Amino acid sequence: MADAANAGGGGSGEGGGQSRRDFLYLASGAMGAVGVATVAWPFIDYMNPSDAVLALASVEVDISGIDPGMAIKVMWRGTPVFVRHRTEASIESARSVALDDLPDPVADEQRVNRTEWLVVEGVCTHLGCIPLGNSSSEPRGDYGGWFCPCHGSHYDTAGRIRKGPAPANLPVPPHSFIDDTTIKIG
Amino acid sequence: MSSDATFHTNSRAIAWIDHRLPIFSFVHEHLVAYPAPRNLNYMWNFGALAGISLVIMIATGIFLAMHYVATPDKAFDSVEHIMREVQYGWLIRYIHMNMASFFFIVVYIHIFRGLYYGSYKPPREVLWLLGIVILLLMMASAFIGYTLPWGQMSYWGATVITNLFSAIPLVGDELVVWLRGGFSIGAPTLSRFFALHYLLPFIIVGVVVLHIWALHRFGSNNPLGIDAKGPQDKVPFHPYYTIKDMFGLGVFLTIFAAVVFFAPNYLGHPDNYVPADQLTTPSHIVPEWYFLPFYAILRSIPDKLLGVVAMFGSIVVLAALPWLDRSPVRSTRYRPMHKWFFALLVVDVLVLGWIGAKPPEGIYLVIGRLATLYYFLHFLVVLPLLGKFETPKPRPQSIAEPVLKGGGGPAAAPAKPMEKA
């Protein structure tokens, strides 16, 4: 390339043609790179979720039919959310444990809006399976909360990880009480 | 980087791979060192432009397929979803939609260039035939692709075109049902069209490879239509024609971008933004503009079967061209009579295109029939006779000769471009 540039450069003096040709190469190369990046962006962004998907959808859940000790599963943004009506014993067991004993220490009070209602995303923080334990007939694990059948993670009655490979507690989605029998998730 | 046809590298890794899979040598041979006639004009840009158009169609098409749903109840809505909700979906669809038109513009110019400079003549007949195969595959892809948005024109265009096959004696009606997978255009038609629309472009890529393979067997034709006599008649493809192609691409994409951003629906038909309705045919059905000349031929024949035969025959006759044109002279520059008939053919095809967009009645029908008549006369009568009666003008001895006339010594000058390279 260098030889060709020298021979064909046509610059005023020796070296002049060389640097002028180099400048042209760099300038057009840089312009080309900017052009490619500009055109690539629409294609990359095309694959992102659209605004319709991103819009924070919210669902309202009627909780009047959930007996103490039971939980239901609702869909929110394409993932399951557990809404659990906790018994006195469950609340007691969640609050009596020392924070130092937890792999992901968060106090039970910080995870609930109303003491007897626990709302958590029903997706295991290990590899994304749905843990069992909403009804009392399903295995609830060693701590009375949920048990993930895929790789054996045990969650307690506050949805916190206690044992197994999962690294974090079940996330608490944003939620609020519209009235005593309706929760708005999202 | 040189006149040197063999590939050299200082990188041991590249040399190691190239020894086992000579892909770098291959690219060097066909895209870098490939000796091209030194006198190619801008008409020779359109092959490269067609290749790039194909790549753009495939790239945008793959992305469109990510959000498109090929079912009758979802197809139209999914296209509108792409247009309104998916980020840059409007851009990618408008590129795909308009590049289809630009692809045909480029290919038609490419074909007329071949007609003018005699690029179909020996020894390039197979190269030409492969080009006709590509044209047919393109037309099939374009027609099928136009069905996918499931608008009124999509639906009724598909109905009319599949019905063409009902003109075939004996098996016609059964064939149409088989093509559609039903008694009318419906869900099975749409999903098979989508599958084929995704497949055909890759088959086109395969035939393009054969087309280039055949091209590089004897090298490009050139505006003088005479064979290159030696290295003084040629320059390496890179940098001479890579740069020329890049410049042409810049001009092409500038015009293209102007259409995509300022008149994206200019070449389309508004009726296709109305969802397909099986109970109402639009009052005025026209195909996309690039099919209009063929559509005009179809409608100018008053018999159903013969109309279909004439329409397909208008392309088949192109395939027979290397054997119809008996003149030994390739370039029309040296064919004083063919020049005028060629110009007449260009006008004729433009007239056919204009007639194709008009209702088939009154004066339009008469003009359409005359234009159809000339189209076939040109290939079947005029060209064979010209080969006999035309006296060609004297042709230059070599490609280098007219360039060098009057300047420099014949010994020193011809080699100069090669030294530069």
Q: What is the pLDDT of residue B405?
A: 66
Question: How many other CB atoms are found less than 10 A from the CB of residue A5?
Answer: 17
- Tell me the C-alpha distance between B332 and B340, whole Å: 10
Write out pLDDT tens, residues B224-260.
Answer: 999 988 888 999 999 999 999 999 999 999 999 999 9
Q: What is the pLDDT of residue B4?
A: 65
Q: Which residue of A has its CA nearest to B66?
A: A47
Query: Would the CB atoms of A42 and B87 count as touching at under 8 Å?
Result: yes
Q: What is the pLDDT of residue A137?
A: 87
Q: How confident is the model at residue A51 (pLDDT cuts 50, 70, 90)?
A: confident
What beta strand segments (E) does B197-254 contain?
234-236
> A79-85 and A71-76: which strand pairing?
antiparallel
> CA B31: distance to chain centroid?
21
Q: What is the pLDDT of residue A121?
A: 93
Distance from CA of A42 to the nearest CA of B (A): 6
Distance from CA of B85 to the nearest CA of A (A): 6
* Domains in chain B, CATH or no CATH each: 29-404 (1.20.810.10)
Q: How confident is the model at residue A8 (pLDDT cuts 50, 70, 90)?
A: very low
Write out pLDDT tens, residues B332-351.
Answer: 999 999 999 999 999 999 99
pLDDT over 70 (residue A4): no
Task: Measure CA of the first residue to CA of the last residue in chain A; give whole Å.
Answer: 61
Place of tokens 């067609």: B50
Q: How many CA atoms lie within 13 A of B293 on its CB side?
A: 22
Stretch (H or E) spanning A60: strand A59-62
Contact B94, B109 (CB under 8 A): no
User: CB of A44 within 8 Å of any CB in chain B?
Assistant: no
Q: What is the pLDDT of residue B139?
A: 97
Question: How many other CB atoms are found less than 10 A from the CB of residue A110?
Answer: 8
Q: What is the mean pLDDT of chain B?
A: 92
Write out pLDDT tens, residues B363-412.
Answer: 999 999 999 999 999 999 999 999 999 999 999 988 988 766 654 444 44
The complex scores an ipTM of: 0.81
By C-alpha distance, which of B47, B51, B204 is closest to B110? B47
Q: What is the pLDDT of residue B232?
A: 86
Q: What is the pLDDT of residue B229?
A: 87
Contact B38, B400 (CB under 8 A): yes
Stretch (H or E) spanning A183: strand A182-185
Q: What is the mean pLDDT of residues A133-149?
A: 89
The residues of chain B scoring below 50 in pLDDT are 1-3, 407-421
- Tell me the C-alpha distance between B335 and B262, whole Å: 42
Q: What is the mean pLDDT of residues A169-183?
A: 92
Place of tokens 């009606």: B173
B420 neighbourhood in chain A, CB within 8 Å: 4, 7-8
The closest CB to that of A42, out of B85, B92, B421, belongs to B92
Place of tokens 């006709």: B132
Q: Which of B119, B154, B220, B314 is catalytic?
A: B220
Q: Which of B53, B233, B234, B288 is catalytic?
A: B288
B59 neighbourhood in chain A, CB within 8 Å: 43
- Tell me the C-alpha distance between B110 and B107, whole Å: 5
A48 neighbourhood in chain B, CB within 8 Å: 87
Active site residues of A: 151
Q: Which of B216, B227, B271, B304 is catalytic?
A: B216
Listed in sequence order, the residues at least 6 apart from A22 whose beta carbon sits closer than 8 Å to its beta carbon are A5
Active site residue B244: yes
Q: Which residue of A has its CA nearest to B61?
A: A43
Question: How many other CB atoms are found less than 10 A from the CB of residue A151?
Answer: 12
Write out pLDDT tens, residues B92-109.
Answer: 999 999 999 999 999 999
